[in-house]
A = this chain, B = another copy of it.
Amino acid sequence: MQYIHQNDLTKMTSRYRAQVINSLSGFKSANLIGTLSNDNINNLAIFSSVFHLGSSPALVGFITRPNSVERHTLENIQQTKQFTINQVNEDFWQEAHQTSARYSAGECEFKATGLTAETIDGIKAPFVKESRLKYALTLKEITPIQLNGTLLVIGEITHIICDKAAMKNDGYIDIESLNTVMVSGLDSYHTSKRLSRLSYAKPDNKPIPLSLNGELGNT
C-alpha cells in the first residue's frame, strides 16, 4: 500500500493533485445540465457532482465553481431559475465530455457537439433528446461553501422523463439498462455491470438478493 500524507499533497503539481483527489470519492455520476440564457442561447455542460439530497421534497444538488468553465450554467440558472439534468449514456459519452471545452457564451454546446435540444411545455431549459432519463428542476437555493469558494446549487424536481422499460415495480429505475455511464477521476468513463439488488438491511439477518423488480429471490 502507498501512504500519502497532507505534506505530500502540497508538493504535487496542481494537475497531478487534482487527478489524485478526484479519484478518492469513488465513481461519480455523469450528467449534462441544460440551461437557457437571457439571450435565448441553449447551454449544456457536463457535471460529475450531481447528488441526491432528499425525496420529499425531491431535491438534487450539484457543486460548481463561481468563475470556471461552467459559469454559463450558473449564470443561466441564477437568471431563469430553471435547469434540466440529463443522464449521460453510452451513445453520447464522448459528446458529453466535449461540452467541458471552454466555448464562449455565444456558442451553443448542442450545435458544437451534435446533441439534440428538446423542450416540453412549461420548461424553457433544454433537455438532451438522446438522454433516456432526464428531469427539470426549479432553483431552490445556492449555498456558498466558504472553505473553497465553490457553490452548492439545489433544485427541486418538477418533471421527470424516463424510458418506460427501465421503471420497475417498486419505483427502482434500472439505469444500467439505459446504459448510463459514470466517471472516475477527471476523465475516465465507465459502464456498469450489476452485482445484485439487496434487501433492506436488518441487524439480525444477512441481506438477501432481490430481483430487478425488488422481489425476494434473485430471479
CB distance from A135 to the nearest CB of B (A): 6
Contact A21 B55 (CB under 8 A): yes
CB distance from A10 to the nearest CB of B (A): 8
Q: What's the number of copies of this chain in the assembled complex?
A: 2
Answer yes or no: A173 CB below 8 A from chain B CBs. yes
Q: Using A26-B50, A203-B107 as known contacts, say yes or no to A184 and B175 having CB atoms under 8 A apart.
A: yes
Tell which of B12, B15, B202 touches A101, judged by Cβ atoms closer than 8 Å: B202
Answer yes or no: A219 CB below 8 A from chain B CBs. no
Q: Using A20-B173, A157-B21 as known contacts, say yes or no to A190 and B195 having CB atoms under 8 A apart.
A: yes
Q: Using A16-B171, A23-B172 as known contacts, say yes or no to A147 and B57 having CB atoms under 8 A apart.
A: yes
Interface residues on A, range: 35 or more
Contact B164 A53 (CB under 8 A): no
Binary flags per residue of A69-87, CB closer than 8 Å to B gives 1, else 0: 0000000000000000101
Answer yes or no: A58 CB below 8 A from chain B CBs. yes
Tell which of B24, B100, B171, B207 touches A133, judged by Cβ atoms closer than 8 Å: B24
Residues from 52 to 106 in A contacting B, C-beta threshold 8 Å: 52-60, 63, 85, 87-88, 90, 93-94, 97-103
Contact A53 B63 (CB under 8 A): yes
Contact B154 A52 (CB under 8 A): no
Contact B5 A201 (CB under 8 A): no
Tell which of B30, B103, B170, B207 touches A94, judged by Cβ atoms closer than 8 Å: B207
Contact B201 A196 (CB under 8 A): no
Contact B28 A52 (CB under 8 A): yes
Contact B29 A25 (CB under 8 A): yes
Answer yes or no: A38 CB below 8 A from chain B CBs. no
A-B pairs with beta carbons under 8 Å apart, 24 shown: A5-B159, A19-B173, A20-B173, A21-B52, A21-B157, A23-B133, A23-B171, A24-B60, A26-B29, A26-B180, A28-B52, A57-B147, A59-B147, A94-B198, A94-B206, A98-B201, A140-B147, A173-B185, A174-B184, A180-B184, A181-B195, A188-B196, A190-B193, A190-B194
